[in-house]
Chains A and B, each alone.
Chain A
């Protein structure tokens, strides 16, 4: 059950100041800023990774400037880690060499967004990253936006970035979550209601039930903000702004997004029984310890019919999963446990799909060919649905295991 609304212009003027995104940017700019304004701010964290840093390095070198403040700059190696071929290794060597020369911290033990959430992000920060899912860190109350390599290069060499202050898209969650339904199901449902570009250039601000969720679940919600076109995703604030959506989750079913976009989400009942060759559990969307625990409860003592690839999102998550016996559970059920990173989500490292193969993944994108051959197919779902599907070898409602 849901309802939506758009504000009149007058009401909009009243409430615009309440948005969390505008509050953070106002504090950063040292004055009250309004949506639509172009402002210049000094980000607290500026980062790129092994796919986006090489072009940023080229741009910095062409610009011929130094790094303004290396303590605010981070390079991550997470997309193809450890490198799978000479091309990847060569690009990563470029990163390592540049980082060493300029005193930039280099991190290679987890997905960038997970590491930022675990160790670096603080409420009120402005974070810009060379990755579209930078919006994930908004769960911690930071303004975090993804950008391209050239913008990141300019931020790294000047210490500043220009931003257009976004309007807010308030999403209020009501009710209580039923058994077997989690943050990923909510995020996919919201994508289907808002649409692929429904929040273009806006800050998606989750309130209500979202504010009482575990951090892991908040991160899953904000992670998918970009799949609706948003500039950032946040949890909290008082945003009854430009557009609002209220969603009562009490009767929500587990959701599965069929190809080719995350907005193509539907109740698991509508796609159950679709044969699956591979299941992926991990990524910046659902590779946290809480996600692995859910998968573990379903996979324990069972055999995975599908080729199952499990990727903890960081070294810390991996170690915790070992100490809780989860990794043993996964290996015993026949899954592959891979080193922390992004690999399979973008078809770059491990778990690639052959022509015609079908994968159900806990990641955030089911675009044509993203994980392999263009004739392969990707379905997106929660860790619970993924684990149930792994056991059956076909898309399965996780509630039958609960």
Chain B
């Protein structure tokens, strides 16, 4: 697992630029994630990689193609100091794990390698083990169902 580090205020235009945001095809979306502002990401991202970012990750447009593209290109989780509210909700709805953390965005460096354990909620970088905040149970259920649509189809209820 490789960590892709981003700063504050990463917006959804950067994640899926408007000109590429013309499809719902997962493979096409996967190729356009960060394609313009961070081409090394779209070229090098691998399945199971983790994004670590600063404040207000996913701000701007409500486009759900942003978390969808990140999920489709293999991102296993996003850990940020804080998230924009629409992105956070979209990611949970799609079954993409998102975690708010103060210490990981400070400690993790771009290119770090390690392990993320989404059963025990830990992130290991080198010899350092970080605890991820355990989400509320209904969020865990949604993510483990692979998203809110599957969750509802399997008999889950909201509110």
Q: Is the CB of A52 within 8 A of B158?
A: no
Most buried by B among A58, A88, A229, A352: A229
Evaluate whether A63 and B89 lie within 8 angstroms (CB atoms) in the complex, with A39-B159, A197-B55, A346-B13 already known: no
Query: Looking at the complex, which one of B18, B24, B85, B152 makes contact with A55 (CB distance below 8 Å)?
Result: B24
A55 touches B65 (CB 8 A): yes
* A394 located at the interface, meaning its Cβ lies under 8 Å from any Cβ of chain B in the complex: no
Chain A 323-366 per-residue mask, 1 if CB under 8 angstroms from chain B, else 0: 00000000000000000000000111000100000000000010
Of B11, B13, B149, the residue contacting A62 (CB under 8 A) is B149
Query: Which residues from chain A contact B55 at a C-beta distance below 8 Å?
Result: 196-197
Contact between A369 and B152, CB atoms less than 8 A apart: no
**27 A-B residue pairs with CB within 8 Å:** A38-B159, A40-B159, A52-B62, A52-B64, A63-B152, A91-B24, A131-B61, A132-B61, A148-B93, A150-B64, A150-B94, A150-B147, A150-B148, A150-B149, A196-B56, A197-B9, A197-B55, A197-B82, A200-B82, A200-B84, A200-B85, A201-B85, A229-B84, A346-B13, A347-B17, A365-B13, A369-B14
Contact A54 B60 (CB under 8 A): no
Contact with B along A121-160 (1 / 0, CB 8 A): 0000000001110100000000000111111011000001
A62 smallest CB distance to B (angstroms): 5
**Among B36, B68, B93, B147: residue with most chain A CB under 10 A:** B93
| B128 sits at the interface (CB 8 A) | no
Q: Is the CB of A197 within 8 A of B59?
A: yes
A197 vs B14: C-alpha distance when bound (angstroms): 17
Q: Which residue of B lies closest to A134 (CB)?
A: B62
Interface pairs A-B: 6 shortest CB-CB: A148-B90, A40-B159, A197-B56, A150-B93, A148-B64, A162-B159
Interchain CA distance A51-B67 in the complex, whole Å: 15
Given contact pairs A64-B153, A197-B56, A54 touches B24 in the complex (Cβ within 8 A): yes
Contact indicator A147/B62 (Cβ below 8 Å):
yes
* Nearest chain A residue, comparing its CB with the CB of B85: A201
Please determine whether A261 and B62 come into contact, CB atoms closer than 8 angstroms: no
| B89/A348 in contact, CB under 8 A | no
B21 at the interface (CB under 8 A from A): yes
Interface string of A9-51 (1 = CB under 8 A from B): 0000000000000000000000000000011100000000001
* Interface range on chain A (Cβ under 8 Å from partner): 35 or more
- Which chain A residues lie closer than 8 Å to B159 at the CB level? 38-40, 160, 162
With A346-B13, A369-B17 as known contacts, state yes or no: A154 contacts B152, CB within 8 Å.
Answer: yes
Query: Which of chain B's residues have a CB closer than 8 A to the CB of A365?
Result: 11, 13, 60-61
Mark out the residues of chain A between 156 and 175 whose CB falls within 8 Å of any chain B CB in the assembled complex.
160, 162
Residues on A with C-beta less than 8 A from B65 are 55
Task: Check if B129 is an interface residue, CB within 8 A of chain A.
Answer: no
CB distance from A55 to the nearest CB of B (A): 5
Contacts A40-B159, A200-B56 hold; do A374 and B147 have CB atoms under 8 A apart? Answer: no
Residues on B lying within 8 angstroms of A by beta carbon are: 8-9, 11, 13-14, 17-19, 21-24, 36-37, 55-56, 59-65, 67-68, 82, 84-86, 89-90, 93-94, 147-149, 152-153, 158-159
A65-116 with Cβ < 8 A to chain B: 80, 85, 87-88, 91
Contacts A38-B159, A51-B63, A346-B18 given; does A148 touch B153 at CB 8 Å = no
A196 contact set on B, CB distance < 8 A: 8-9, 55-56, 59
What is the CA–CA distance of A346 and B14 in the complex, to the nearest angstrom?
Answer: 12
B153 lies within 8 A of A369 (CB): no
Task: Please provide the chain A residues from 264 to 321 with a CB less than 8 Å away from any CB of chain B in the complex.
Answer: none
Whether A245 sits at the interface, judged by CB under 8 Å, is: no
The answer on a CB contact under 8 Å between A374 and B36 is: yes
Q: Are A91 and B22 in contact (CB under 8 A)?
A: yes
Contact partners of A88 in chain B: CB under 8 A? 22
Instruction: Pick the contact of A148: B60, B62, B158 (CB < 8 A).
Output: B62
Would B62 and A154 count as touching, CB distance under 8 A? Answer: no
Whether A150 contacts B11 in the complex (CB less than 8 A), given A200-B56, A229-B59, A346-B18, comes out as no
Complex alpha-carbon distance, A368 and B153, angstroms: 39
What is the CA–CA distance of A402 and B137 in the complex, to the nearest angstrom?
A: 60
Q: Answer yes or no: A59 CB below 8 A from chain B CBs.
A: yes
Indicate if the CB atoms of B86 and A261 lie closer than 8 Å.
no
Q: Which A residues touch B93, using CB under 8 A?
A: 148, 150-151
Please report the C-alpha to C-alpha distance between residue A287 and residue B60 in the assembled complex, in whole angstroms: 20
Q: Is the CB of A147 within 8 A of B56?
A: no
Given contacts A132-B86, A150-B90, A231-B85, 5 further A-B contacts (CB under 8 A): A40-B158, A62-B153, A131-B61, A132-B61, A374-B37
